[in-house]
A = this chain, B = another copy of it.
Amino acid sequence: MEPNHSNNLKVKSIGIDTYRENTIYMRHDCHVCVAEGFTALTRVIVSCGGKQIIATLNVIHNSNLLEHGEAALSMEAMERLNVKEGDFIGVSHLPPVESLRSVRAKLYGQSLEPEAYQDIIRDITDGKYSNIELATFIAACSNDRLKTEEIIYLTKAMIHSGQKLSWPGIVVDKHCVGGLPGNRTTPIVVSIIAAAGLTIPKTSSRAITSPAGTADTVETFTNANLDLIAIRKVVEQEGGCMAWGGAVKLSPADDILISIERSLDLDSPAQLIASVLSKKAAAGSTHVVIDIPVGKSAKVRTMEEAVHVKDLMMSVAAAINMTLDVVFTDGQQPVGRGIGPALEALDIIAVLKGNKEAPIDLRDRSLKLAGRLLEMTGKTSSNGGYQMAFSILEKGEAWKKFQAICQAQGRFTEPTVGQFRYEVISNKDGVVANIDNRKLAKLAKLCGAPHAPGAGILFMSPLYKKISKGDVLLILFAQSKGELEYAKEYLKSSPETILQIV
């Protein structure tokens, strides 16, 4: 705004998309670089009209990309700082980020106080952590390195890092700990619960390490990207919604951490619990049911680990005044037939419509979770939840409510799958003896899921099914030929380890 200030530079738009990490491009002989002693990868504060962001510096040499007095910003950085070409920005050193001292202390095995977690989460929310610093914090919290009290501190810090919603009366919610391809019960549970007259303002995340998150799946049939005003309107009108949580800035630190966890293919109990419960608490939920699938290739592998996570969750929920129940479900194989956003959406719609060929396992799990919520909230006796949910589904009330919610969110579209397909054929007779869910998920990701919503797998070979030579075991779907080839190559390198037929 003050072109004469010595640290001010004129913005040039060069259209580079660096995704989450803000980047600023400056000439190596720029007067600000020289005066401030900036070199490549220096972390700097970029400011304009009272707003500021933190960015990583890339230096430009021997190039006509920038004139003297100009600097460029990556696209997201321009958006976050709300500047356009020709605006003036100030650039200065990033002061030392004091909370990193606590991250190092944690890595060295110390326990941290509530204030330390508040400082860390505030600095993460403010974008002060570089990607490698975020990775270090995630590693420091992995594998039970946080005591129960520390998980409570972390959860509370995350709740208060963003917006908080409040609703009149009872507000219910559900969450699945994940790790099981195709386990897409949320839209079915929301439809049943809202049809029963309860309030369920459901927000979901995109995939972390899986081929589809609920928000990815929802986007194949309606808009998930709702702001707070839109969510309120949909929930007031229909009692429930199916929105992407990131758009409403509930627990924003969590979204930043999740983006790094995704790259690392890494989860930790502490981050998991803080992530789930902070989102629920910030959304104003009072009664929550958690689905933990247990199986040797699910996220939670043993019953012992499941009980451990449940105990931690119950302690944290009690500390934040939330009524919680945890349900363990079978985690040995995929749920339904679709793996990938659009393919999973087709399963959901089949269940809601009551189609004869709808996956029985997906329906059963959805009824169990909806039933438990109906019991917890006193809508029915302590044993009548499943029956009540079943009846709402059978009468078509859930399907009607689903369509109404979709329309309230802006549209209902039939999901479409990728045009490139490949059938995986069995080369022998036998019985399906073992399924590696992690490798199956990886295969779906190699097909392009979740960034290509029509990509994924149609899974046609559940455990103990009798297989004849020539039967179709899986159908791969992709939206680009390159990705289909890539998935086929992975399949070739380890077919027996994904799906074992004996």
Contact = CB atoms under 8 A, between A and B. Distances in A.
12 contacts: A15-B63, A17-B58, A18-B41, A35-B482, A37-B483, A96-B442, A104-B265, A107-B142, A108-B143, A131-B135, A136-B138, A139-B140
A100 interface: yes
Interface string A117-159: 0000000000000111111101110110000000000000000
A4 interface: no
Contacts of A423: none
Contacts of A14: 60, 63, 65
B139 A107 contact: yes
A62 interface: yes
A483 B18 contact: no
A143 B63 contact: no
B75 A61 contact: yes
The 6 closest A-B pairs by CB, nearest first: A15-B63, A139-B139, A36-B482, A132-B135, A135-B135, A19-B40
B96 A13 contact: no
A433 interface: no
Contacts of A62: 15
A451 interface: yes
What bracket does the count of chain A residues touching chain B fall in? 35 or more
A285 interface: no
Contacts of A135: 131-133, 135-136, 139
A59 to B, nearest CB: 4
A59 B13 CA distance: 14
Given A40-B18, A65-B15, A482 B452 contact: no
A480 B35 contact: yes
A260 interface: yes
Interface string A31-44: 00011110111000
Interface of A: 13-19, 25, 28, 34-37, 39-41, 58-63, 65, 74-75, 93, 96, 100, 104, 107-109, 130-136, 138-140, 142-143, 260, 263-266, 442, 448, 451-452, 478-483, 486, 490
Contacts of A63: 13-16
A186 to B, nearest CB: 25
A428 B25 CA distance: 46
Nearest to A483: B37
Contacts of A131: 131-132, 135
A101 B107 CA distance: 21
Nearest to A490: B96
A16 B132 contact: no
A85 to B, nearest CB: 11
Contacts of A130: 263
Given A63-B14, A104-B265, A37 B451 contact: yes
A111 B16 CA distance: 42
A39 B263 contact: no
Contacts of A58: 16-18, 74
A59 B17 contact: yes
A40 B77 CA distance: 14
Nearest to A138: B136
Contact of A266 (B40, B136, B264, B265): B136
Given A132-B135, A135-B132, A263-B130, A451 B17 contact: no
Nearest to A260: B132
B19 A266 contact: no
A269 to B, nearest CB: 11
Given A107-B139, A136-B266, A143-B109, A486 B61 contact: no
B40 A481 contact: no
Nearest to A27: B15
A387 to B, nearest CB: 42
A33 to B, nearest CB: 9
Contacts of A448: 37
Given A104-B265, A265-B100, A60 B15 contact: yes
A272 B218 CA distance: 49
Contacts of A266: 104, 107, 136
